[in-house]
Amino acid sequence: MNWKPFFSKALNADPTRLHFAAHSHHLWPNAAYDGHMATCNDAMELADHKWEKIMGPVWAEAQAHVAAELNLPNPQTIAFAPNTHDFLVRILSAIPTRPVRVLTTDGEFHSFCRQMDRWAENGDVIVEPVAADSLVEKALAGGHDLIFASHVLFNSGTVLDDIDQLAKLARPEGPWVVIDGYHGFMALETDLSAFADDIFYMSGGYKYAMAGEGVCFLHASPGYAPRPTITGWYAAFDDLALPPGEIGYAPDGRRFLGSTFDPSGLYRFNAVQTMLSEEGLSTSVISEHVSALQSYFIERNPLPEMELLNPLDGNLHARFLAYRGKNASLMHAALTDHHIVTDVRGDVLRIGFAIYHDADDVEHLVGMIRRIYMSA
């Protein structure tokens, strides 16, 4: 099946580019463009009254899409924000103890690590980073207020398959369990129904949801963190008539909201989700296509001097291949010179396939890598 026509605007915008960084910045499908234009049309037509639509049917539709993807029992536990960092800050603000004792993996993304380092420097947190395969053991030992881990580690592609065990430890009085699903949402089939009442889960549309920036979400477990200290007026959007001095909070996921935001991401997300549904492009269908391309690339073995950190083993797999080697940056730069987009994190070259790729694209990539080796 050829799905490239659904991405014709992005592909035709630069026909010489081969984009193998779908795990980093997924190319927008045409539907995202249509959704973005719908934002502008509603703003022009509805003006002030656009927020009634945004916080009504647009918001509810986006919640329903997320809930269906994650098999959440109640879409109203979901809140949206421009980025997941907003949610991290609000979650931590709701923990009453100081310093906050944080257990996490040693493979978390830069934004989380930077914030934790700064809070630790200030004495607000005590952070214990551990290898992903020892996270559950450390969590079982207790002594933590917050357990934070990525479903898929951004640098190595390691998949955390112990979320259920972490969820069993969660309590409203602590510890709280937060799963960062940015590299998992719509990349791995994910069913949170069995422990939806016990964890926080956050992700966004920038990557595999194909909706671009500005549309991140949090599933906030009922009974956890009812009144975040860092808050905005949208957290009480339903009750703006409270008497002065009373600080109200929405009873659902909206208690984690901030203030006025750009709603275009919600429109793009909804438009893309509708397109995917109409075309039967579920996460499993897309994953099957990507897995076939990954297998083909690995069989061709164009990077023999580099270590594949996340080989295919028949289990859930990240949507990218992570190759570690001393020449990772040089290879990335050489591919960039030939208008082939990958990305590099330290000594790890990451290659991400998508439904806008086919076997010919992979063969082109393999051939270019081999020519780069021959000319080195």
pTM, two decimal places? 0.96
CATH of the domain spanning 32-276: 3.40.640.10
- Please give the share of the chain, as a percent, with pLDDT higher than 90: 94
For residue 50, the model assigns a pLDDT of 97
pLDDT in tens, 281-339: 999 999 999 999 999 999 999 999 999 999 999 999 999 999 999 999 999 999 999 99
Q: What are phi and psi of 245, to 5 degrees?
A: 95, -15
208, pLDDT greater than 70: yes
The band of 69, judged by pLDDT with boundaries at 50, 70 and 90, is very high
For residue 239, the model assigns a pLDDT of 61
Cα–Cα distance for residue pair 314/291, rounded to 1 Å: 10
Q: For the residues 158-165, what does the mean pLDDT come to? A: 96
241, pLDDT greater than 60: no
For residue 58, the model assigns a pLDDT of 98
For residue 237, the model assigns a pLDDT of 67
236, pLDDT greater than 90: no
Q: 286 is written with which tokens?
A: 């897309």
> 4-29+280-375: which CATH number, 3.90.1300.10, 3.90.79.10, 3.90.1150.10, 3.40.50.300?
3.90.1150.10
HEC-encoded secondary structure of the chain: CCCHHHHHHHHHHCCCCEECECCCCCCCCHHHHHHHHHHHHHHHHHHHHHHHHHHHHHHHHHHHHHHHHHCCCCHHHEEEECCHHHHHHHHHHCCCCCCEEEEEECCCCHHHHHHHHHHHHHCCEEEEEECHHHHHHHHHCCCCCEEEEECECCCCCCECCCHHHHHCCCCCCCCEEEEECCCCECCECCCCHHHCCCCEEEEECCCCCCCCCCCEEEECCCCCCCCCCCCCHHHHCCCCCCCCCCCCCCCCHHHHCCCCCCCHHHHHHHHHHHHHHHCCCCHHHHHHHHHHHHHHHHHHCCCCCCEECCCCCCCCCCCEEEEECCCHHHHHHHHHHCCEECEEECCEEEEECCCCCCHHHHHHHHHHHHHHHHHC
230, pLDDT greater than 80: yes
pLDDT in tens, 101-135: 999 999 999 999 999 999 999 999 999 999 999 99
The band of 195, judged by pLDDT with boundaries at 50, 70 and 90, is very high
Can you give the residue ranges of every domain in the chain? 4-29+280-375, 32-276
238, pLDDT greater than 70: no
